[in-house]
């Protein structure tokens, strides 16, 4: 036998018997009895707290990794919005979402909170500001490639600040292609914008074809949940 049959509790000195089991004709050591004294219980509680904190941190680290991969901006990682859970549930059921309102009314906060709820597991979500998508489209005009593929095929797409920058005719056609592909494939999409639907048509058509602009907004608006964000600019409070 290569273990002591008893040991002492380091807290109260009580005798603790060895725990063993038999396997294939051999006696295997399985540790010692647990002591029920206050010191031993406090030590076990501390160990449980350390393990729980490590597990919590592992979950948090994975969530942060998923959120970054989804494109959630750093500023919005710790923020939430009261409508986010309800909107995310709707998108899981195939709903499109149109969030509009003035600057500083927490549209992006809500969109990011939705993205965080959709990220992880087998679900794929991508959040991107509209200017980045437009830049990728414009670069592809010279560099080639298909910059819209990942936006067109991702399960959930969240586009922030649609209409902030006026697209040219070529870019507007590409934007229509993206929205139409997602609309035809019934892939849930959320957009944030400063413009109500009728005003967004005019904004998108300033440097492009009005019919194309109208077709884009029609697909974004048709059957979508439209939420108006009102109130003062929270960034100036």
CATH of domain 71-236: 3.40.50.300
CA 64 to mean position of chain CA atoms: 9
> Could you identify the residue written with the tokens 């948090």?
60
CA atoms in the 13 A half-sphere facing the CB of 155? 15
CA angle 23, 28, 33 (to 5 degrees): 125
Residue 150 neighbours by CB under 8 Å, 6+ apart: 126
Q: pLDDT per residue over 91-143, tens digit each?
A: 999 999 999 999 989 999 999 999 999 997 666 999 999 999 988 888 876 77
Backbone angles phi, psi at 85, to 5 degrees: -60, -45
* Lateral strand order in the sheet of 225-229: 125-129, 156-160, 189-193, 97-101, 225-229
d(CA 144, CA 4): 74
Tokens of residue 48, six digits: 């449980």
Contact call for residues 148 and 174 (beta carbons, < 8 A): yes
Q: pLDDT per residue over 27-51, tens digit each?
A: 899 999 999 999 999 999 999 999 9
Q: pLDDT per residue over 132-151, tens digit each?
A: 998 888 887 677 678 889 99
Give the residue ranges of DSSP H helices in 71-106. Answer: 84-92
Domain with CATH 3.40.50.300 in the chain: 71-236
d(CA 155, CA 175): 17
Model confidence pTM above 0.75: yes
pLDDT value of position 123 = 67
């Amino acid at each position: 036998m290569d273990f002591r049959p008893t040991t002492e509790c380091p807290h109260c000195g009580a005798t603790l018997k060895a725990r063993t089991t038999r396997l294939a004709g051999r006696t295997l050591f399985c540790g010692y009895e647990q002591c029920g004294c206050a010191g031993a219980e406090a030590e076990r509680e501390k160990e449980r707290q350390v393990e729980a904190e490590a597990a919590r941190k592992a979950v948090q680290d994975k969530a942060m990794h998923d959120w970054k991969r989804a494109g959630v901006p750093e500023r919005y990682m710790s923020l939430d919005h009261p409508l986010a859970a309800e909107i995310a549930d709707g998108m899981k059921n195939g709903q499109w979402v149109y969030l509009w309102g003035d600057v500083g009314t927490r549209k992006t906060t809500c969109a990011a909170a939705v993205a965080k709820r959709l990220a992880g597991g087998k679900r794929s979500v991508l959040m991107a500001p509209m200017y980045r998508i437009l830049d990728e489209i414009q670069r592809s005009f010279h560099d080639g490639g298909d910059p819209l593929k990942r936006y067109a095929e991702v399960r959930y797409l969240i586009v922030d600040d649609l209409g902030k920058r006026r697209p040219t005719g070529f870019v507007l056609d590409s934007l229509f292609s993206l929205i139409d592909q997602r609309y035809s494939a019934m892939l849930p999409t959320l957009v944030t914008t400063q413009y109500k639907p009728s005003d967004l048509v005019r904004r998108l058509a300033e440097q492009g074809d009005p019919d194309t602009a109208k077709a884009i907004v029609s697909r974004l608006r048709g059957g979508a949940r439209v939420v108006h964000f009102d109130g003062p600019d929270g960034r100036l409070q």
